[in-house]
Structure 1
Amino acid sequence: MTTHAYTKELQLARLAVQRAALLTKRLLSEVDKGSFDKVDATPVTIADFAAQASIIAAIHHTFPTDQIVGEEDSTALRQDSVLLERTWDLARSVHLDDEASEAMLYTPSTKDEMLTLIDLGAQGNAGRSGRTWTLDPVDGTATFMRGQQYAVCLSLIVDGEQVVGVLGCPNLLSDRRVAEELVDKDGYGQMLSAVVGHGVTIQPLGTGKLLDGTMLPGVSQVEDPKEVRFIDTQASETANLEVHGKAAALLGCAWPNPVDLWSAQMRYVAIAVGACNAFVKVPLKDSYRSKIWDHSGGMLLAAELGVKITDLAGNDVDCGLGRTLAGCHGMVVAPASIHGQVLEAVRVARQS
């Protein structure tokens, strides 16, 4: 096993994500997902709450002084006894079947402790100093509800820089084909992880100790703009798809790509496994800023494979500005060799 400065953190993150992924898989087998709508109209399920509690329990137990930024808070659970009971049952019932692996994690012992752990994530902020874990317990909740692609995401940011990223993809096939409807029905999906400076590993998700993985090759450093293969989501309500299409036309590349994924983090996964090699996000509103948990970790995977990531002005993405990528208006994600051409195409498309 390769050792590095974050060996312990990576091991814990992988195990925590694997357990949370199993938790979400268990809920997928139920007909009633216990869902309701949040204020922003995004569907949420007890899987979001239980997975957040499960991951934070493990991280906080081992690294009690680290900041944690999670998407959910416990307000809705505190107001709904049925959802609370179901979340509690799910959070405490899923364990890894390897005792040594499970012993590295932690499970809340009471409902109140579970609620407190969830709120640790809601109260956290990423800064430019210190250590902060960011997590999205279910990135792509809408597609999760349909049994399609989603990701359980965890990353570690140190002094504003991503250093560890782990994405569990419970429905990703072992042959690495990516589409919403191509779902792993026989296994537990795949997990991708990265440590800064050490590349990207993919390994099957399992039920116990971590399974062996393989290193992913870097992305092809294409120079012909026709070789850009964008991924997008045609269902987006926050992105200017017209500009996306114009940028692709300027480059002379195909658009839209047959690979269309709702989950933001799964788009980084699609790049990592070779289903595409780029994406852009031009927000409809100038005020729009992405949530940090929708990108941290996934960005590290892409960067480790030779992808450059900037905002629409060509600036690097700053992960030390709180709960959003506050200094980042839009995104351009492409192989380093052609990122400049993609960035220019987006600039021209926005002005046309």
Structure 2
Amino acid sequence: MLGRVAHGIFWMYRYLERAENTARLLAAGQRMALTRGQDLADSEWKSVLTTLGLRPAYEEHFEDYTGAHVCDFVLRSKHNPESVLSMVERARTNARTCRSALTAEVWEAVNEGWMTLRDLLAKPVRDATLGAALGAIRRESTLARGATHGSMLRNETYCFTRLGTFLERADNTARILDVKYYLLLPSISYVGTPLDSGQWDNVLRSLSAERAYRWLNAGRMDARSIADFLILDDRFPRSLVFCYSTLRENLAELAQLHGAEGECHAAMREADLRLNDKTVEDIFEQGLHQFLLEFIADNQRLAGAIAQDYRFVS
């Protein structure tokens, strides 16, 4: 496979996953903001922008933190090069560049999804239209992922779709969990209160984890149990352990196809050493924030090593 094709496939699926994750985070932020006073609602929207890394860019153009302004900026603003609309457009551009490596079903799902969202986000996003917009983003990403799973050969192209998806997903899970632990609660005095429980519920909803977590942990809503679930439970498809299990399998498949390992395989083994055989007690003893910072750095190194080994550094 040519490096430019691997690059296009890898980033196409990173952008699709990132767009979906952003929509889920906005939906959870809206849910929390609607149940709180104005000051706490503003704090909630600030935390969304912080999680996405967009707060400095947002503050260049707005002085308030109303839901309408935040959502419109994140979803479609021309002042935001990392808007969801831009992500979906980049995914579609990459898909068009690599069209010969994709099935017709995948191309159609991505292209039609882009057209749908382009029309839906042509006008400013308001409270009345936000739910429909966020639902459409999640739906179009899911359709593209479903077309991929149902129509593509399990070859090296498919491996790069999985690498892009699960590197992005792992990064998103780690960042949401880290921001919650340090930024969402306004004060340590709130720990154990209904506000604290509500915000942990918000974290779970941001990661589509609320129902699965409650099935397994009826009545429990605390930092340790949630961290254990989101980091170490290999049954949940957005946990760090699950993401890295998938990455490991696909890197091994690429090594077999190419007859050699590269730096990314060494980086994968090093990342595994930090993650495997840990308990949630080990993580909290080290410090959840420090663990997550190390994980995010490892994830970035792994992505860079994959790009270097397969010659698609942009």
- Which structure has greater strand proportion? 1
TM-score band w.r.t. shorter chain: 0.3 to 0.5
TM-score of the superposition, structure 2-length normalised?
Answer: 0.33
- Which structure has greater helix proportion? 2
Bigger relative contact order, structure 1 or 2 (CA pairs below 8 A, ≥6 apart): 2
